[in-house]
């Protein structure tokens, strides 16, 4: 366990030190009007949506699945809430809108789960459907416009503060909940069992299908919350660009964190590290003054490096499995 | 003859279904809108989607071998960028073309080598390739670069007259040549047969002594080559290079291949299916633009629904 997290941790520390070298005040934290500000808080705040989506993705990937539709789901969540709020400024409307959006996201998750567990379609393809159609649906909801809202209650989700930014608190709360529910009960083990072999775990009495449905619903709800954060942060819903490529970032975070795409084992701490690495990388690129678009090159290099570091183990595991089958 | 007609449907059923869908969609358009059923509308399907046809041909190889290539859209963007900036720097056209094709194939080769030799999922490697290619575009320039080269512009705007007053561009000719070449390689060469074998069962192919390494790396080189060629066609079409060109085009290519009846699990499918798949996508777009009142995002929803239907049908066929 520690060994697996060593490389991501070192990478994160190296990135943070690089930031410190470029901007010496990077680690400085200051209180202002009861709000905490600083470089590290920024990293956490901007990384919160990615972390949330990555958490959902971790569980999906642990069942040997993948969810490509999270970005589109995030866009839908923002769109539905903003359209519901409209010109209203009341907190009740904001909460009703968010509730509707999250219920809708859960329904979209059920849909993904149905395609994967019910019809037995490969997860990458099943969720590709919603990834393609989802943005169209979001555009339909917003009628192709960028819907702006002016609602203080809604703004709290993405831009509010309770000492720390609210979005960080929400992300950490979900992380804590997931860690508690999956690691303090048998659920985590069952998820891993489904990832190793759905058929065998079904025969052993695990409700494979129910578990697969659950993880896709959870991933979609996480994506919904992240979508609310993204849209609330700018007080607008942009069906085209909200959460664009965030599914890729989330998958990267999960992979960097040492969760195998082949399923069967996952690490929530790893995902947290992975999400932080990705966000720190983005921040670093900004602070050292490279064009922000070039972040993609660095991301590519990090992914390849991390994958190559993990590869010999994957090979060993694979050859072991082959031997076991042939004997 | 009877055995032939009995045997053909089971193998060609998915492709035939796509052809029927295309005919239905087109027939629907012709019945509803004046001027839909003209030769030029059909020609425009090819003109507007020439790059996608080339992409789908390359993607067919990868998917048949059981892999996936997410980097194609970004490689298209990178190719437009290399083309535009190369021409801007005053390189001769042949050199630019060579540089673009080399870039795409090299990227494909690298991804293929990593996928094969380190046993990392194609999904994640080509995802990295996608980021890398997009990032390289922005390294060249963050701005859009327009193409002013005369030779290039002449090729782009040249129209070929076909009988019946229909005109097509050189893009279409190149795209169809690529499809023909892909069909030859896939259906008539040893390499092509091995692609099917690897997609069907890699371990069986290996035990049969087939050169699986060459094929597994080769399909990504082919896909990279096709992507860069598609990028050249795209720069002819747009006459500019930009890092945000072709965002999400990899999904269109995958959708076209799947709608064309290729199984995503690998081993089953035809290059021609991808071509018909592209035509179906093009027809949907044309229908929606003829309709006028429907907004363009309906295209995405319809493509999603079609994708779903075809996957569900494939799924039931595989079960049987």
Portion of chain B with pLDDT greater than 90, in percent: 52
Q: Per the CB < 8 Å rule, is B135 touching A139? A: no
d(CA B76, CA B249): 9
Give the SS3 label for residue A161. Answer: strand
Strands (E), B53-149: 145-146
Taking residues B110-136, what's their average pLDDT?
88
* Per-window interface: A 16-75 vs B, CB < 8 A: 66
Interface probe for B, chosen from A68, A131, A300 (most Cβ of B below 10 Å), is: A300
Give contacts of A262 with chain B, Cβ < 8 Å. 121
* Residue pLDDT, tens place only, A160-176: 888 889 999 999 999 99
d(CA A236, CA B282): 32
Taking residues A28-56, what's their average pLDDT?
88
Q: Per the CB < 8 Å rule, is A314 touching B142? A: no
pLDDT for res A82: 94
What structural domains does chain A harbor? 2-326 (1.10.3470)
DSSP annotation of A238 reads: -
Taking residues B301-318, what's their average pLDDT?
80
pLDDT for res B1: 44
CA A188 remoteness from chain centre: 18
More confident residue, A143 or A308: A143
Question: Other C-beta atoms within 10 Å of A1: how many?
Answer: 10
More confident residue, A2 or B20: B20
More confident residue, B275 or B119: B275
DSSP annotation of A118 reads: I
* Residue pLDDT, tens place only, A120-134: 888 888 888 888 888
Taking residues B169-190, what's their average pLDDT?
94
C-alpha torsion sign, points B200, B203, B207, B209: positive
Taking residues A282-286, what's their average pLDDT?
83
pLDDT for res B256: 92
pLDDT for res B9: 59
Give contacts of B255 with chain A, Cβ < 8 Å. 128, 132
What structural domains does chain B harbor? 12-319 (1.10.3470)
More confident residue, A117 or A26: A117
pLDDT for res A30: 82
Q: Does A88 have pLDDT greater than 50?
A: yes
Portion of chain B with pLDDT greater than 70, in percent: 96
B134: contact with A, CB 8 A cutoff: yes
Interface probe for A, chosen from B123, B304, B319 (most Cβ of A below 10 Å), is: B304
| Kind plus residue range of the DSSP H or E element containing B240 | strand B240-241
Nearest to B27 by CA among B40, B36, B16: B36
Q: How far is CA B262 from CA A137, A143, B272, in A?
A: 27, 34, 10
A261: contact with B, CB 8 A cutoff: yes
Segment of A74-78, A294-298, B240-244 carrying the highest mean pLDDT? A74-78
ipTM of the complex: 0.76
Backbone angles phi, psi at B162, to 5 degrees: -110, 160
pLDDT for res A289: 78
Give the SS3 label for residue A237. Answer: strand
B239: contact with A, CB 8 A cutoff: no
The mean pLDDT of chain A is: 86
A251: contact with B, CB 8 A cutoff: yes
* Residue pLDDT, tens place only, B197-239: 999 888 999 999 999 999 999 999 999 999 999 999 999 999 9
Which pLDDT band holds residue A63 (cuts at 50, 70, 90)?
Answer: very high
Ramachandran sector of residue B23 (left: φ over 0; alpha: ψ -120 to 50; beta: rest): alpha
Which pLDDT band holds residue A316 (cuts at 50, 70, 90)?
Answer: low
Which pLDDT band holds residue A1 (cuts at 50, 70, 90)?
Answer: very low
The mean pLDDT of chain B is: 88
More confident residue, B71 or A119: B71
Q: Per the CB < 8 Å rule, is A261 touching B124? A: yes
Strands A164-165 and B159-162 turn out to be: unpaired
Taking residues B304-309, what's their average pLDDT?
85
Taking residues A273-294, what's their average pLDDT?
84
Which pLDDT band holds residue A231 (cuts at 50, 70, 90)?
Answer: very high
Which pLDDT band holds residue A326 (cuts at 50, 70, 90)?
Answer: very low
Q: Which two tokens mark A223?
A: 């994506």
User: Locate tokens 């493509």: which residue?
Assistant: B303
């Amino acid at each position: 366990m520690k060994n697996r997290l060593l490389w991501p941790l070192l990478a994160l520390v190296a990135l943070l030190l690089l930031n410190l070298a470029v901007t010496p005040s990077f680690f400085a934290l200051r209180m202002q009007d009861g709000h905490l500000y600083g470089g590290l808080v920024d990293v956490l705040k901007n990384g919160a949506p990615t972390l949330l989506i990555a958490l959902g993705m971790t569980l999906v990937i642990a069942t040997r699945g993948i969810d490509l539709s999270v970005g589109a789901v995030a866009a839908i969540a923002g769109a539905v809430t903003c359209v519901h709020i409209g010109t209203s400024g009341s907190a009740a409307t904001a909460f009703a809108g968010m509730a509707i959006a999250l219920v809708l996201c859960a329904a979209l998750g059920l849909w993904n789960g149905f395609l994967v567990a019910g019809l037995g379609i490969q997860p990458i393809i099943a969720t590709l459907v919603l990834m393609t159609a989802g943005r169209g649906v979001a555009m339909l909801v917003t009628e192709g416009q960028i819907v702006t809202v002016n609602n203080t209650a809604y703004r709290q989700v993405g831009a509010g503060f309770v000492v720390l930014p609210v979005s960080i608190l929400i992300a950490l709360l979900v992380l804590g909940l997931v860690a508690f529910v999956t690691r303090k009960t048998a659920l985590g083990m069952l998820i891993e069992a489904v990832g190793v072999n759905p058929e065998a775990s079904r025969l052993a009495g695990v409700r494979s299908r129910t578990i697969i449905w659950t993880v896709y619903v959870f991933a979609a709800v996480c994506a919904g919350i992240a979508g609310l954060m993204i849209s609330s942060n700018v007080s607008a819903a942009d069906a085209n660009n909200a959460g664009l490529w965030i599914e890729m970032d989330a998958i990267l975070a999960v992979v960097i964190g040492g969760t195998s795409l082949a399923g069967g084992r996952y690490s929530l701490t790893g995902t947290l590290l992975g999400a932080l690495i990705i966000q720190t990388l983005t921040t670093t690129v900004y602070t050292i003054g490279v064009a922000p678009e070039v972040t993609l090159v660095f991301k590519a290099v990090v992914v390849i490096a991390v994958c190559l570091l993990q590869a010999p183990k994957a090979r060993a595991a694979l050859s072991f499995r082959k031997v076991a089958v042939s004997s | 003859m009877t055995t032939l007609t009995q045997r053909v449907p089971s193998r060609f059923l998915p492709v035939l279904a796509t052809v029927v869908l295309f005919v239905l969609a087109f027939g629907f358009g012709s019945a509803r809108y004046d001027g839909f059923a003209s030769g030029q509308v059909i020609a425009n399907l090819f003109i507007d989607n020439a790059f996608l046809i080339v992409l789908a041909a390359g993607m067919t190889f990868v998917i048949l071998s059981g892999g996936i290539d997410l980097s194609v859209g970004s490689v298209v963007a990178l190719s437009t960028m290399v083309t535009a900036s190369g021409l801007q720097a005053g390189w001769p056209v042949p050199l630019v073309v060579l540089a673009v094709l080399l870039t795409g194939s090299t990227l494909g080769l690298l991804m293929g080598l990593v996928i094969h030799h380190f046993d990392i999922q194609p999904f994640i490697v080509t995802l990295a390739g996608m980021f890398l290619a997009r990032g390289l575009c922005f390294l060249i320039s963050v701005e859009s670069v327009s193409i002013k080269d005369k030779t290039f512009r002449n090729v782009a705007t040249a129209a070929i007259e076909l009988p019946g007053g229909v005109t097509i561009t050189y893009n279409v000719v190149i795209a169809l040549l690529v499809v023909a070449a892909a069909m030859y390689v896939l259906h008539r060469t040893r390499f092509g047969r091995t692609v099917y074998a690897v997609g069907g069962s890699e371990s069986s192919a290996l035990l049969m002594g087939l050169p699986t390494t060459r094929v597994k790396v080769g399909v990504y080189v082919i896909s990279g080559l096709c992507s860069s060629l598609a990028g050249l066609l795209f720069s002819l079409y747009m006459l500019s290079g930009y890092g945000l060109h072709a965002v999400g085009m990899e999904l269109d290519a995958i959708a076209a291949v799947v709608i064309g009846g290729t199984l995503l699990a690998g081993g089953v499918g035809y290059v021609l299916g991808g071509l018909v798949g592209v035509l179906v996508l093009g027809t949907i777009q044309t229908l929606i633009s003829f309709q006028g009142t429907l907004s363009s995002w309906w295209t995405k929803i319809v493509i999603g629904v079609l994708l779903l239907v075809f996957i569900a049908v494939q799924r039931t066929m595989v079960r049987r």
